[in-house]
Amino acid sequence: MKCKICTQHNTAIFTSKILYKYEIEYFYCNHCGFLQTEEPYWLNEAYSDSINNSDVGYMERNKTISQNLITILSLFFNKKSKFLDYAGGYGVLTRMMRDIGFDFYWDDKYTTNLFSKGFEYNKTLTIEAVTTFESFEHFVEPIEELEKLLSISKNIIFSTELLPVIIPKPEEWSYYGLDHGQHISFYSQKTLDFLANKYNLNYIYLDGLHIFTVKQISRQT
């Protein structure tokens, strides 16, 4: 099987049961450090509800992210510009950021916008930075998704839990999401460095968030 990040050959490293019934394989790429499932034929079932029932920290996470974004956007970006929350779920974060005073817009092809109606993204908008949280691990074709984001803005702020250097067994890492079946792509530090280099971007990790950007941002900030 080819790696979906770098197209090099990857290796099956373990199998596990997903959604309590499908035995699937996981493939690791030594070249870029990316871990992926086999082709995810179970996703229609996994997305019967787009916000999975295991995501019990959804509201609290949005609150924390909004506070971290205030700092990052104020320090490094034009805070009077427009921003897009991609794969924005029910529109909670967009609503929070607008209430704080940032000109945020929403986009999500799978979920209904409940909290930020009237502020849907359209291609006429010039976007300073795209935010997208807990979405990278859902990407079936991560390169296509990343290039779509980069076509909107060369500054991307996102969250995803990094694959540890010693790859955990299925029972050792809850982020595999075996119960809900929606997590199919897992990125290591090496993977994100590879992607930044591929697209001539700077990559930093700041305030619990990953940033791909054309700007020069110090890791010591």
- What is the four-CA torsion angle of 98, 149, 161, 212, rounded to 10 degrees? -90
The pTM is what?
0.93
Please indicate, yes or no, if residue 150 is contained in any of the structural domains: yes
Number of domains forming the structure of the chain? 1
Least Cα distance to 211 among 130, 107, 91 occurs for 130
Which range marks the domain in which residue 79 is found? 49-165+175-213
- Model confidence pLDDT, tens digit, residues 55-114: 567 889 899 999 999 999 999 999 999 999 999 999 999 999 999 999 999 999 989 999
Query: Is 59 within a domain?
Result: yes
Among the listed residues 94, 108, 116, the one whose alpha carbon sits nearest the alpha carbon of residue 50: 108
Edge-to-edge strand order for the sheet containing 209-213?
Answer: 103-107, 82-86, 127-133, 156-159, 209-213, 202-206
In a domain, residue 199? The reply is yes
pLDDT in the model for residue 207: 86
Does residue 207 sit within a domain?
yes
Model pLDDT for residues 155-202, shown as the tens digit of each residue: 999 999 999 999 999 999 999 999 999 999 999 999 999 999 999 999
Alpha helices in the chain (DSSP H): 43-46, 58-76, 92-100, 142-152, 189-198
Q: Is residue 96 part of a domain?
A: yes
51 has a pLDDT exceeding 70: no
> How many angstroms separate the CA atoms of 166 and 144, rounded?
28
Give mean pLDDT, residues 207-219. Answer: 89
The number of CA neighbours under 13 Å toward the Cβ of 47 is 16
Residue 125 domain-assigned (yes or no):
yes
Residues facing residue 15 across a β-bridge: 25
Report the amino acid identity of residue 44: N
* pLDDT tens sequence across 18-30: 999 999 999 999 9
Q: Is 19 exposed, middle or buried (0-12, 13-18, 19+ CB in 10 A)?
A: middle
HEC letters along 71-126: HHHHHHCCCCCEEEEECCCCCHHHHHHHHHCCEEEEECCCCCCCCCCCCECCCCCC
Q: What is the CATH number of the domain that holds 207?
A: 3.40.50.150
- Asked if pLDDT for residue 38 goes beyond 70, the answer is yes
- 104 found inside a domain: yes
